[in-house]
């Protein structure tokens, strides 16, 4: 009798609605521009649709997107974006709060910190407080210790400092971050405080590429989705989010993403929190939405060649063929230029200060990231911008190696200034 009563009480307790700890806020960011980056804007558009269906108020969703794809001249479906081969439009009806030149690291950080200057300009910012939960979804390119925006980069040290500031200012109760980018684990590994109520998932670990998917559409010459982004949304709409925990989400998405290592960082005490507390309840309308099994994958950086390849095989005139071949040739030449630039920088760094190589010394993880930040900032100003020349991304880890070897970042900066003068 006693056991039956206990079981009855337990079942009753599980069916009770969980207490509302506060409001739910979301920040969605597609950090790229250009037709070949179609998938990032489709990912964010789709995510906004899901959050709205899940009952997150539109005035609590802040979206940053360059918005140059839906009406791009290369889009055979003007005003529409698709996230898979079903060609279900995810663009119609979405709200974009920051577009074009407004999609910057500065504005993103301003949104997180509730910057009053943005408010005075009529822009939306987080108005979250100590009882509110915050969900952040970012998708774009990345390298070691940075994620890219159309204009500028956001470095890991700057992001971590901002998150710490949000915590000290009581700007959230709990926070979930989903980060889609190559090397995305490097934004948090050894950096994110495990005691500030932040649960972060990254599409890849600190040393690998993430992957694009649906890259062979019959009519659209671009990849339609990112593997991690598509899978977290797929899992989220299939489960009862009122009962589905963050850790269950992590384990399931990790299993479904086959081409990179989905990695978890942050506060493990959040593992048993429910996803509904961050992205709303699937009972509001998304549960059961149909998703396809992803296929036709390419490494994220190789997605740039998908439109070029489609132009080459679809060209019907000699002029069109030559134009596509020229575009391909220019990409290869740029890759060679990037490769040579890093070769010159590395050779010069081996004999710093009259041939005396500085002895390696131990730097903290944050000190290494700040060293990288100093070097890369000058590299971006003088040599190549990550967003316009993504070919640099696989090489940027060499700057980290220089920092690990104890080289003075100011010396590397001088070398870069000479080589990229």
CA 288, 290, 292, 294: dihedral to nearest 10 degrees?
-60
**What is the 3-state secondary structure of 218-229?**
CCCCCCCEEHHH
* Phi-psi category of residue 406: left, alpha or beta, with phi > 0 → left and psi -120 to 50 → alpha: left
Neighbours of 189 (CB within 10 A): 19
Query: Token match 């479906």: residue?
Result: 77
The verdict on whether 403 is a catalytic residue reads no
Catalytic residue, candidates 40, 145, 182, 373:
182
Determine the Cα–Cα distance for residues 320 and 318; give it in Å rounded to an integer: 5
φ, ψ of residue 29 in degrees (nearest 5): -135, 125
Q: Which residues contact 319 (CB under 8 A, 6 or more apart)?
A: none
User: Of 141, 199, 373, 376, which residue is the catalytic one?
Assistant: 141
- Spatial distance between the Cα atoms of 408 and 417, rounded to a whole number of angstroms: 15
- List phi, psi (to 5°) of 299: -55, 145
Give the relative orientation of helices 318-349 and 305-314 as an angle to the nearest 10 degrees: 150
Task: Kindly state the helix (H) or strand (E) to which residue 335 belongs, with its residue range.
Answer: helix 318-349
Alpha-carbon 133 to chain mean position? 20
The overall longest dimension of the chain from CA atoms, in Å, is: 86
Q: Which of 199, 182, 214 is nearest to 43 (CA)?
A: 214
Rounded Cα gap, residues 78 and 89, in angstroms? 11
Residues belonging to the active site: 141, 182
């Amino acid at each position: 009798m006693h056991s039956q009563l206990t079981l009855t009480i337990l079942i009753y307790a599980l069916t009770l609605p969980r207490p509302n700890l506060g409001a739910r806020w979301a920040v969605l960011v597609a950090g790229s521009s250009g037709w070949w980056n179609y998938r990032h804007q489709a990912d964010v558009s789709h995510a906004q649709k899901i959050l709205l269906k899940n009952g997150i108020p539109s005035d609590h969703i802040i979206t940053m997107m360059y918005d140059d794809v839906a009406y791009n001249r290369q889009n055979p479906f003007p005003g529409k974006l698709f996230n898979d081969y079903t060609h279900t439009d995810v663009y119609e009806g979405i709200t974009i709060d920051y577009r074009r030149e407004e999609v910057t690291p500065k504005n993103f950080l301003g949104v997180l910190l509730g910057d009053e200057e943005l408010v005075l300009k009529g822009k939306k910012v987080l108005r979250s407080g100590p009882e509110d939960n915050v969900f952040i979804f970012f998708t774009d390119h990345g390298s070691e210790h940075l994620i890219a925006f159309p204009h500028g980069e956001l470095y890991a040290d700057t992001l971590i400092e901002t998150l710490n500031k949000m915590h000290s200012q009581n700007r959230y109760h709990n926070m979930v971050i989903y980060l889609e980018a190559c090397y995305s684990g490097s934004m948090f590994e050894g950096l994110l405080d495990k005691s500030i109520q932040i649960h972060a998932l990254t599409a890849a670990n600190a040393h690998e590429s993430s992957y694009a998917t649906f890259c062979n559409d019959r009519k659209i010459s671009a990849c339609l989705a990112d593997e991690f982004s598509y899978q977290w949304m797929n899992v989220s709409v299939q489960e009862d989010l009122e009962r589905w925990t963050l850790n269950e989400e992590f384990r399931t998405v990790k299993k479904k993403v086959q081409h990179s290592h989905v990695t978890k960082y942050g506060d493990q005490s959040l593992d048993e929190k429910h996803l509904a507390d961050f992205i709303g309840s699937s009972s509001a309308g998304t549960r059961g939405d149909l998703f396809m099994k992803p296929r036709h994958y390419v490494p994220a950086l190789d997605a740039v060649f998908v439109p070029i390849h489609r132009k080459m095989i679809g060209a019907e005139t000699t002029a069109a063929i030559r134009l596509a071949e020229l575009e391909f040739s220019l990409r290869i030449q740029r890759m060679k230029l990037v490769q040579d630039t890093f070769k010159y920088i590395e050779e010069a760094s081996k004999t710093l200060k009259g041939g005396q190589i500085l002895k390696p010394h131990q730097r903290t993880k944050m000190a290494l990231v700040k060293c990288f930040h100093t070097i890369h900032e000058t590299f971006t100003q003088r040599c190549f911008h990550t967003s316009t020349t993504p070919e640099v991304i696989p090489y940027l880890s060499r700057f980290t190696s220089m920092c690990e070897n104890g080289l003075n970042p100011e010396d590397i900066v001088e070398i870069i200034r000479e080589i990229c003068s």
